[in-house]
Amino acid sequence: MTWLKRILVGTAVSSGAVLLAGTASLDADDFDAEKAVTVLGQQTSLLWVVIGAMLVIFMQTGFALVEAGFCRAKHAAHVVSTNFAIFGLGFIAFFFVGFPLAFGGFSYAPMGLEAPIGDALLRSGNWVFLWKGGWALSGRGITPALLGFFLYMG
C-alpha cells in the first residue's frame, strides 16, 4: 500500500509543479485581473491534460494485466515485459517522428500554445501536408503546455 501512497504523492507534487511553472508574477502595482484569469484557466487546462496523460499511461498496466490473464502462467512475465517494452519503444518513436509530423504546426491559444513549433513540410497554396520542425521537441515554441500535450498524445 505504500507504493500507492508514493504514486499519489508524486502525482500531486508533479501536478503542482506543472501548475506553478507558468505562474506570472502578480505585483500589486501592475495587477491585471483578465490576465490572471487567463493564466489560471491555462494552468487548469494543463493540469487536467497531465492528469489525463497519467491515466492513459496507467492504462498500459491494465492492458498488460488483461493480456497476462489470457495466457498460461509460465508465459505471463514475458507477456507483461513485452507489453511494456512495446510501449516504451512506441513512445520514443512518437517523440522523434510521430509528434513533429502530426503536431509541428499545432497551436491552441486557450491552453497556452500560441505559436506552432514547426512549419509546413509540403505546401501548395493553402494546401498543407504534414509539418516539419520541432524534431525531438527542439523548436522555438517549447512551453510547459506543449510538453503536457506531448505527454498526453504519447
- Band of pLDDT at residue 110, cut at 50, 70 and 90: low
- pLDDT for 41 equals 83
User: What is the DSSP secondary structure assignment for residue 69, as one 8-state letter?
Assistant: H
10 part of a folded domain: no
Number of structural domains the chain divides into:
1
| Residue-range definition of the domain harbouring residue 55 | 34-153
Give domain status of residue 54, yes or no.
yes
116: closest CA among 104, 126, 128, 127?
A: 104
Give the total residue count for the chain. 154
Residue 16 falls inside a structural domain: no
Q: Residue 125 falls within a domain, yes or no?
A: yes
pTM over 0.75: no
Q: Flag whether 98 is in a domain.
A: yes
Residue 12 is assigned to a structural domain of this protein? no
Q: Given this model, what pLDDT does residue 70 score?
A: 93
pLDDT of 95 above 70: yes
pLDDT, one tens digit per residue, over 33-91 is 888 888 888 888 888 988 998 998 888 899 999 999 999 999 999 999 998 899 889 98
